[in-house]
Amino acid sequence: MCSSLQGDGEAKLGFIGAVSKLSVHTLPQPGDMITTEIRLKNEFEQVHLIEGVSFLGGEKLIECQMKIVLA
């Protein structure tokens, strides 16, 4: 389960329906500060296809695509 902030700032309840194109480049150490960028690729009704990338400093840690279904 996850929450999503819409353009109006309202949090929506959602569920991860699928994870694809997962690539793990490296793993962080305990206490590292991770930054994650999410980009909306496509949406149809309540299903959103997003692409996420997590970074440690400028180094890419992990990336994937997810289908999120909003309740």
Look up the CATH superfamily of 15-70: Hotdog Thioesterase (3.10.129.10)
**39: closest CA among 57, 63, 20?**
63
| pLDDT at site 4 | 47
Q: Look up residue 34 and give its amino acid.
A: I
What's the CA gap between 48 and 69, in Å, rounded? 6
* pLDDT higher than 80, residue 10: no
Domain boundaries, the chain: 15-70
Q: What are 25-64's pLDDT values in tens digits? A: 999 999 999 999 999 999 999 999 999 999 999 899 999 9
